[in-house]
Amino acid sequence: MTIHGFGLPRHPKDTNSGVATAVYNILVATPSFTPGGGNYNTAQTVTITTATGGAGIRYTTDGTTPSDTVGTVYTGPVTLIATTTIKAVAYASGFTNSGVATAVYNIQSATPSITSLNPTSGAVGTAVTITGSNFGPSQGISTVTFNGASAGTAATWSPGTITVNVPSGATTGNVVVTVGGVPSNGQSFTVGTAPIVTSLSPTSGPAGTGVSIAGSNFGSYFPAPTVTFNGTNAAPQVYWSSSTSIEATVPSGATTGNVVVTVGGVAGNGFSFAVTSPAITNVSPTSGPAGTLVTISGGAFGSAQGTGSVWLGSGYAPVVSWTNTQVVVTVPPIATSGNVQVQQGGIWTNGLPFYVNTATISNVSPASGVAGTQVTITGSGFGASQGNGQVWLGTAYGLVQSWTDAQIVAAVASGTTFSSAQAQQNSFAARARAERKARLGAAPGLIESKAGAIARLSQWWRDAKH
């Protein structure tokens, strides 16, 4: 500030004095640093302040002298992760700039250390997470290199985790983090051409479904590419067809998510695949004896049986045919009544009830007769039609005339002798046999039911007593 003045004359004949001038330079207060410069074992966050209200501050860390037009405008604390000389100046309109404040921070940081990379391979542009320690709170002048190629500005940076993209020009080799001029250990990273998946067919299905994967850069037969369904490896059901085609089977335990092809350790893009759960909507018929064909309708059974199976009542049922929406099985000889369920890829469907009929004879009429006599066998569980069912009358097969689930009509065969009336169905006589005992009558070839024989013997005993 400059002040000008002059003296007034004391008498009219006196002349004015000369002009007196004084210059006053009002300085902005010199900045101060908190904490102050010194020796430190860890990174320091430095706050710069000035006592002059409303004044601005600029600072430098490269050794140059700051001014009101040179240096970085101070907007908040400055983090120092390596030995640094920081200089600052304060300035304000109408004031003279402050003196330059200087502080030296000798920071002996611990050596950075990398413990893991995720992923450990990828193409240029792949995001890589580096996990370790002593990376510092922010990147600052620290660097990440892929076999010497700088990754530039990191996406994220913290003392224990860094995320960067594989840079253009990177080649297979070590990833190194350098903090304050101190390099870390190296961790190997494989740089390659990423496979590209362009389509899946189908795009949904249960475990066990065959999937055609189309794309490019699938490599060669050896080493074979790997395929994962939302992280679950499809091996060994992966078949390389060409560099543009792969056949894979949805593995057991897979869930909805991306299908990823990896070649030579380099993972490609993800392509969405929905893993569906098998479900039963209908069972037809809902009852029948052993050997009955049962049609199970629903969805997500898989286009082929593969490792799929069907549980009926109390045992596995033999499969006759299998599609994604329909499975046909035979009621097994050991089955009992219970639920029908389909299993595919280790996943079981809901259950629907099925009643296993047990053949039972309630009546044989007539109770006796000679060869050629037509015998009506009444009961249940014989099956809707004869199929390969048989009737045993006495000691020979009867000649079947008609067959329903509740009634069989058969003729007594020539040469038969006294024994039982029995019916069997679907070749499973051991489990589906119904029988009614008969006794030999007076005439050869005559059979009769147990009830009739008992009644006749009782009458014979009464007659003998009298």
pLDDT of amino acid 453: 35
Q: Has residue 391 got a pLDDT over 70?
A: yes
Confidence band (pLDDT; 50, 70, 90) for 240?
confident
For residue 397 the two structure tokens come to 């097969």
Q: Tell me how many degrees the CA angle 392-394-396 measures, rounded to the nearest 5.
A: 55
Q: Which CATH superfamily is domain 279-356 in?
A: Immunoglobulins (2.60.40.10)
Closest-CA residue to 331 (of 358, 299, 360): 358
Which of 364, 357, 355 has its CA nearest to residue 391? 364
> How much is the pLDDT for 261?
93
Query: In the prediction, which pLDDT does 223 show?
Result: 67
The superfamily (CATH) of domain 360-453 is Immunoglobulins (2.60.40.10)
Q: Does domain 196-275 have CATH number 3.40.50.2000?
A: no
Three-class SS of residue 436? strand
Q: Which residue has the tokens 């870390």?
A: 184
With tokens 């929905």, the residue in question is 274
Higher pLDDT pick, 114 / 27: 114
What pLDDT score was predicted for residue 425?
66
- In sequence order, what are the residues at sequence separation of 6 or more whose Cβ sits closer than 8 angstroms to the Cβ of residue 450? 436, 437, 438, 439
pLDDT of residue 270: 93
163: β partners: 129, 156
> Fold match between 113-191 and 196-275?
yes
Average pLDDT, the chain: 84
Query: Any idea where the domains of the chain sit in the sequence?
Result: 32-107, 113-191, 196-275, 279-356, 360-453
Task: Report in angstroms the alpha-carbon separations of 95 from 45, 78, 89, 91.
Answer: 29, 26, 13, 7
Query: What pLDDT score does 8 carry?
Result: 54
Write down the pLDDT at residue 12.
63
**H runs (alpha helix) in 4-129:** none
For residue 46, the model assigns a pLDDT of 96
Closest to 195 measured CA to CA, from 173, 235, 225, 168? 225
**Choice between 421 and 28, residue whose per-residue pLDDT is larger:** 28
From the number of C-beta atoms within 10 Å of its C-beta (0-12, 13-18, 19+), residue 258 rates as middle
As given in the structure block, the two tokens for residue 368 are 């006796």
Residues 6+ apart with CB under 8 A from 430: 333
Amino acid at 145: T
Maximum mean pLDDT: which of 151-160, 249-258, 327-336: 151-160
Map tokens 């689930």 to a residue: 405
CA 38, CA 18: separation in Å to the nearest integer?
A: 54
Helix, strand, coil tally for the chain in percent (to 5): 5, 50, 45
Measured CA distances, 5 to 1, 16, 24, 94, 142 (Å): 14, 11, 14, 21, 60
> How far is residue 308's CA from residue 295's CA, in Å, rounded to a whole number?
15
Q: At residue 382, what are phi and psi to the nearest 5 degrees?
A: -80, -20
Both tokens of 315, joined, read: 């045992």
Which residues, 6+ apart, have CB-to-CB distance to 462 below 8 Å? Answer: none
Alpha-carbon span 89 to 48, nearest angstrom: 10
Average pLDDT (72-83) is 90
Query: What is the fold of 32-107?
Result: Immunoglobulin-like (2.60.40)
Going by pLDDT thresholds of 50, 70 and 90, the confidence category of residue 451 is: very low
SS3 state of residue 459 = helix
- pLDDT, position 298: 93
Q: What is the pLDDT of residues 130-144, one digit of tens each?
A: 999 989 888 988 999
Does the structure show a pLDDT above 90 at 367?
A: no
Query: φ and ψ at 373, to 5 degrees?
Result: -65, 135
Quote the pLDDT of residue 16: 67
pLDDT of residue 81: 77
The pTM of this model reads 0.43
Query: Given a cut of 90, is residue 259 above it in pLDDT?
Result: yes
Judge whether residue 198 has pLDDT over 80: yes
pLDDT band per the 50, 70, 90 thresholds, residue 449: very low
Q: Are 47 and 54 in contact (CB under 8 A)?
A: no
CA 222 to chain centre: 27
pLDDT at 230: 95
Average confidence (pLDDT) over 54-66:
95
Residue 291 pLDDT: 83
Q: Are 31 and 88 in contact (CB under 8 A)?
A: yes
**pLDDT band at residue 122 under the 50/70/90 scheme:** confident
The CATH superfamily label for domain 113-191 reads Immunoglobulins (2.60.40.10)
pLDDT tens digits, one per residue of 429-443? 433 344 444 432 333
Mean pLDDT of 84-111: 91
Q: What pLDDT is stored for residue 237 in this prediction?
A: 79
Rg (CA), the chain: 48
Per the structure block, which two tokens stand in for 118? 């995720």
